[in-house]
Amino acid sequence: MQGYQWLRASALAMLATGAAFVAAPAQAQGSLVMYCGVQEEWCRAMSTTFEKETGIKVAMTRKSAGEIYAQLKAESANPRGDIWWGGTGDPHLQAAEEGLTQEYESAANKDMQDWSLAQWRAAQKRTIGIYAGALGFGFNTQQIKQKGLAEPKCWADLLDAKLKDDVQVADPNSSGTAYNMLATIVQLMGEDKGFDYLKALHKNISQYTKSGAAPAKAASLGETAVGIVFIHDAVVFAVQGDPIKAVAPCEGTGYEIGSMSIIKGARNLDNAKKFYDWALTPAAQALAAPAKSYQVPSNKNAVVPPQAPKMSEMKLINYDFVKYGSSAERTRLLTKWDKEVKPLP
Ligand code: PLP
């Protein structure tokens, strides 16, 4: 897959330049309203470090990607947010198309991976890729053994009747992860077979959670046998020794380009631009791993955490971000899922 040689980037070169950001002294510099789409711990690390280094007071709220998109839309006549940082790229692209976010070109663009800039170009400069991660699932090794099942390796394995009420995934309306799964399944299997798969899977779903990463935690605790999540969200629990294994499905899988956008009508526009420039530095991107977030960063000079799943070794589909991030397609697929899958018994 062209443009994805970034996955083999030299760790040495990254280390050499990894500490390029020099902190400015903290003093009162106004404020910034940040809508944050990743895990709470990483959101907090970003907001508090930026605040400490610049003196800009950050009011941060964590929400799932679909919820932030809906909030921007609801607030569009009177925008309250300045920067939307993180979360899957599809709703960022939809917001760009609908004019909810605004153009920006950072001097740091020269250091970004091709996939990050592809997102920026697709959105007419209104969003940019900040990290990448592949979709998959995590399973609880003890639960799978107790059920007498072989370790699941493929999407097809999740349809086994022994997994009835023992699979979790988020609701694609609220969750960027779950929309990424919906779009992945449609691209991988074709729309008719994809929806057949989602309907069959529904029989095994115990609940559609609000947040995308919640099923990984549930699987790590044995509350569900399988959680469909971004692979890095399952790795978090495997790394800390929980009985969970992360899987890149054998048929192939999709991936996300986590993104960042400046909100149209931002009241603190200069501070939003400062945050944007800073968030693209290797030093800011290095805050992910200590906050237990193991995505692949978008700055070519940032260190890829050793725990990050090796996307170069997975069978990745050629995810069509432009199509599945378009307003018409995202709205159409969500409406169809709401009508044909969610109400099933
Ligand atoms: N958490 C992490 C670490 C992610 O990488 C992502 C996706 O970008 C999310 C959460 C997405 O959350 P949600 O599916 O709740 O929108």
- Which pLDDT tens digit goes with each residue over 257-294? 999 999 999 999 999 999 999 999 999 999 999 999 99
Backbone angles phi, psi at 192, to 5 degrees: -65, -50
3-class DSSP state of 101: strand
pLDDT of residue 27: 53
Q: Is 158 within 8 Å of 228 (Cβ atoms)?
A: yes
Distance CA(40)–CA(62), nearest Å, equals 6
- Which pLDDT tens digit goes with each residue over 3-27? 333 333 333 233 333 334 444 444 5
Residue 170 Cβ contacting ligand 1 at under 6 Å: yes
Q: Which percentage of the chain shows pLDDT scores above 70?
A: 92
pLDDT of residue 29: 82
Report which ligand 1 atom has the smallest distance to the Cα of 86.
8
Q: How far is the CA of 28 from the centre of ligand 1 (A)?
A: 31
Q: How far is the CA of 265 from the centre of ligand 1 (A)?
A: 25
pLDDT of residue 114: 96
- Which pLDDT tens digit goes with each residue over 86-113? 999 999 999 999 999 999 999 999 999 9
Domains of the chain by range and CATH? 7-132+256-309 (3.40.190.10), 134-254+330-340 (3.40.190.10)
Q: How many helices (H) and strands (E) does the chain have?
A: 14, 11
- Which pLDDT tens digit goes with each residue over 186-213? 999 999 999 999 999 999 999 999 999 9
Mean residue pLDDT across the chain: 92
Instruction: Name the burial class of residue 49, with classes exposed (0-12), middle (13-18) and buried (19+) by CB atoms within 10 angstroms of its CB.
Output: middle
pLDDT of residue 28: 58
Report which ligand 1 atom has the smallest distance to the Cα of 180.
14
Whether residue 68 is predicted with pLDDT greater than 80 in this model: the reply is: yes
Which residues neighbour 117 within 8 Å (Cβ) at sequence distance 6 or greater? 109, 128, 129
Distance CA(115)–CA(132), nearest Å, equals 9
pLDDT of residue 133: 96
Whether residue 126 is predicted with pLDDT greater than 80 in this model: the reply is: yes
Q: Is 96 within 8 Å of 126 (Cβ atoms)?
A: yes
Residue 88 Cβ contacting ligand 1 at under 6 Å: yes
Report which ligand 1 atom has the smallest distance to the Cα of 42.
3
Pairing between strand 101-102 and 255-263? Answer: antiparallel
Distance CA(170)–CA(235), nearest Å, equals 18
Q: How far is the CA of 26 from the centre of ligand 1 (A)?
A: 30
